[in-house]
Amino acid sequence: MEQAKTEAREQGNIVTRQAVFDLAEEVKKPHIMNNSGNNEWYTPKEYIEAAREVMGDIDYDPATSDMANKIVGAKRYDTIESNGLMSAWHGRVWLNPPYAADLVSQFIGKLKAEVISKRVTEAIVLVNNATETIWFNMLIEIATAFIFPNTRVKFYLPDGKTGTPLQGQAIIYIGANSELFMNVFKRFGWGAYLDRS
């Protein structure tokens, strides 16, 4: 009998007490912690078209690739090689930052500094709705409106297929045209204005 239990345990057919504890610890982690860290999530065209409807144009995208910018169409952009964290940001910005936790924090921090300096006049940011994180709260501090999409965004991947992150997203607006942003982006979900008076 003991030999049968040992063989079953080795084959993964018996759940051990330790396995239950390990699973419980895994469940306690915030959903964002389960993110693969994949930084190549290209924004679908309908969100970029909506951003152009609100901002008129996209002057700069600090976190993209040559392939993704075929859809974004930013006048100026930085890739992983040119490193948008080292550039000056100006004008109307579209930002779909890298999803790795350390990088998203750096990009949001840089955006906040550029907004405060008034070099960035308007921005739309597409991020995970990780409301429990420091970077998300830093973003909300400078936002004037936001939308939570009704469904998870189906991003384009480098291989041309689509992929959906493990959690939902948020679309954050920073600028003076909050009403236009809400009117344009409400087709994707629900949101609210943030009083900055």
Residues 116 and 113: their CA atoms lie apart, in Å, by: 5
Residues 6+ apart with CB under 8 A from 52: 58
Position 11 scores a pLDDT of 57
Q: Is 145 exposed, middle or buried (0-12, 13-18, 19+ CB in 10 A)?
A: buried
Task: Note the pTM of the prediction, 2 decimals.
Answer: 0.78
Residue 26 has pLDDT above 90, yes or no: no
Cβ–Cβ under 8 Å, residues 95 and 58: no
Position 7 scores a pLDDT of 56
Mean pLDDT on 8-15: 53
Residue 174 has pLDDT above 90, yes or no: yes
Cβ–Cβ under 8 Å, residues 129 and 167: yes
Residues 6+ apart with CB under 8 A from 47: 126, 153, 171, 188
DSSP result, 37-57 = -----BPPHHHHHHHHHHHSS
Mean pLDDT on 169-174: 96
CATH class name, domain 35-193: alpha beta
Q: pLDDT tens for residues 102-147?
A: 899 999 999 999 999 999 999 999 999 999 999 999 999 999 999 9
Cβ–Cβ under 8 Å, residues 134 and 122: no
Cα 29 to chain centroid distance, Å, stands at: 19
39 falls in which pLDDT band (50, 70, 90)? low
Q: pLDDT tens for residues 58-91?
A: 999 999 999 889 999 999 999 999 999 999 999 9
Cα 16 to chain centroid distance, Å, stands at: 37
Among 5-9, 25-29, 181-185, the minimum mean pLDDT is found in 25-29
Write down the domain spans for the chain: 1-34, 35-193
